Amino acid sequence: MLTSIDLSKFADEGIRLVMAYVPTFVLAIITLIAGWIIIKSICKGLKKLLMSKKMDPSLISFLYALVSSLLKVLLVLSVLGMVGIQVTSFIAFLGAAGLAVGLALQGSLQNFAGGVMIMLFKPYKVGDLISAQGYSGTVKEIQIFHTVLVTVENNTIIIPNSPLSTGALVNYSTEPHRRVDVLVQVGNGADTENMKSILYAEMKKFNKILATPAPYIVIVEYGIGTVKLAVTSWCKPDDYWDVFFFVNELIKKEFMKNGIAFPTPTQNIILMK
């Protein structure tokens, strides 16, 4: 049987333990609740910021969940440390697991990081005409891991975001005007001034060729018995191919109408007996 002395010692020890650990547990619970509220506020602020940048909704949801989960894990580990639970081994396990997953998904993570960079810095957007990685086309979609292009032949091209975010890229839609160059060869004896006036008159009639900057035609190269002309005009980026094909057809039609012949290659063969 417990004596009164034993009960007194037991009560004193209980009081000591309560006084030692209850404040810590209370502080840990308060920290957990306050931290949870702060994390929710931070994540809401992050979501509003990303939405104001007009980022892709799927990327916003992913980043929101990622940041929220990381902050909550850090909060729980901090609270466990406050109450005396050793979390070193748990952190080491999480680090090893994260390294293994990172190595397994290295390519996907690079593409994801590339997608984030593209959506943050916006080197191009949906609807832009770009050229990259050996392909040219209009941007149809910017997804988390890849970008979808549609070519002028109506082919769909899927390019990973990692090389798009780090490699060279040409965006034809950032400037309001795009120059169209068509090269044509004529004979040395051709009346180039007459040809220029004919082409100028017809090009001004085409509404997709801009009056400012004005089109121009210049001699760019002399060959053997030929002269190379550059027929240059300006248009909106979306009208590039319409203007390009129009000028090509115009040159053929006007040259035939005005009796201007295209030079044909000749070759002299001397037979020796």
Which stretches of the chain drop beneath a pLDDT of 70? 1-22, 56-59, 61-62, 84, 86-87, 89-94, 96-107, 264-269, 271-273
CB-facing half-sphere around the CA of 127: CA atoms within 13 A: 3
**According to CATH, what is the number of the domain 124-171?**
2.30.30.60
Domain ranges of the chain: 8-104, 124-171, 178-257
pLDDT digits (tens, 9 = 90+) for 65-105: 778 888 888 888 887 777 767 667 666 666 766 666 555 55
The reply to whether 8-104 and 178-257 are identical in fold is no
Identify the pLDDT of residue 156: 94
Res 242: pLDDT = 93
Fold of 178-257: Alpha-Beta Plaits (3.30.70)
Structural fold of domain 8-104: Helix Hairpins (1.10.287)
Predicted local distance difference test score (pLDDT) of residue 2:
47
